[in-house]
């Protein structure tokens, strides 16, 4: 009887912690070593899919809107480049996370899609800069940066192909350099309309990077990263629509 009485306090003291662990187990798995890929829980898988799938249709509609607002060849080309980058980001991400969730036994397919998902980010960054580099007066460096961003995207793609998931910190630094280097040219443009929106979008991306590498530390970290990407992309889209496409359309209507 006495031994049973002594065991009960220990059991009661462990119960709250065990319940807490069980509750968190459904929302987050243990963190993995740097050379391995984190395996999301069922809830995290669903959130990863939903947080980017939701934006596929808006990105298609938004890209189409820029195309119909285009007044010349450069605006049309820029709308196509930006639209493909924007839509491609959300579509590829959604397909990869869906396969990773529902068809994880297809190891090779999942691996290739994961690589493709990371490669698309480089081209999305380059595509996001394309309208500004093509449609704004930026000085002598602009003509070089138009091609340099695509060279950087190609180098990033080659890096992912050969070193995918090996050096995660290096991969993160590549995204940061790719995101900020062209901004040096953009921020020097004489016409400063849209600067604040560009900076705000950049802040969203930077804040999201905190969650990008926090799987296993913060529940739904990757899904939160997806939301920051969506907010950043939405802010940049507004700037492109408002300051690069809408003014010319309004002027045309007035002249008519």
| pLDDT score recorded for residue 62 | 96
Average pLDDT, the chain: 84
Q: Which CATH architecture has domain 2-255?
A: Up-down Bundle (1.20)
Short-list 238, 175, 182, CA closest to 206: 175
Give the global pTM: 0.83
144 is in an annotated binding site: no
- How distant, in Å, are the alpha carbons of 46, 84, 132, 228 from that of 198? 30, 19, 10, 14
Band the pLDDT of 248: cuts 50, 70, 90. low
30 is in an annotated binding site: no
pLDDT in tens, 25-74: 568 777 777 667 778 889 999 999 999 999 999 999 999 999 999 999 99
State the DSSP string of 120-183: HHHHHHHHHHHHHHHHS---HHHHHHHHHHHHHHHHHHHHHHHHTTT-HHHHHHHHHHHHHTTH
- pLDDT-above-90 percentage for the chain: 53
Q: Does residue 174 carry a pLDDT above 50?
A: yes
Residue 26, SS3 per DSSP: coil
Q: What is the dihedral of CA 69, 73, 78, 80, to 10 degrees?
A: 80
Residue 73, SS3 per DSSP: helix
| pLDDT score recorded for residue 142 | 72
226 is in an annotated binding site: yes
Band the pLDDT of 212: cuts 50, 70, 90. confident
């Amino acid at each position: 009887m006495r031994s049973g009485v002594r065991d009960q306090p220990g059991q009661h003291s462990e119960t709250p912690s065990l319940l807490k662990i069980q509750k968190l187990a459904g929302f987050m798995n243990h963190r993995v070593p740097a050379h391995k890929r984190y395996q999301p829980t069922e809830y995290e898988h669903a959130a990863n899919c939903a947080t980017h799938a939701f934006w596929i249709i808006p990105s298609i509609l938004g890209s189409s809107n820029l195309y119909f607002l285009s007044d010349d060849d450069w605006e049309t080309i820029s709308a196509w480049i930006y639209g493909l980058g924007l839509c491609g980001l959300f579509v590829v991400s959604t397909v990869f996370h869906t396969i990773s969730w529902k068809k994880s036994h297809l190891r090779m397919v999942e691996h290739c899609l994961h690589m493709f998902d990371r490669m698309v980010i480089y081209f999305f960054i380059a595509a996001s800069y394309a309208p500004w580099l093509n449609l704004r007066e930026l000085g002598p460096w602009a003509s070089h940066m138009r091609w340099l961003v695509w060279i950087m995207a190609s180098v990033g793609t080659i890096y992912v192909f050969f070193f995918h998931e090996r050096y995660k910190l290096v991969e993160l630094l590549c995204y940061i350099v790719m995101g900020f280097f062209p901004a040096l040219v953009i921020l020097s443009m004489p016409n400063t309309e849209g600067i604040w929106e560009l900076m705000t979008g950049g802040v969203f991306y930077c804040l999201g990077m905190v969650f990008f590498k926090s799987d296993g530390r913060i529940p739904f970290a990757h899904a939160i990263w997806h939301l920051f990407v969506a907010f950043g992309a939405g802010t940049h889209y507004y700037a492109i629509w408002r300051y690069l496409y809408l003014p010319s359309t309004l002027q045309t209507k007035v002249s008519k």
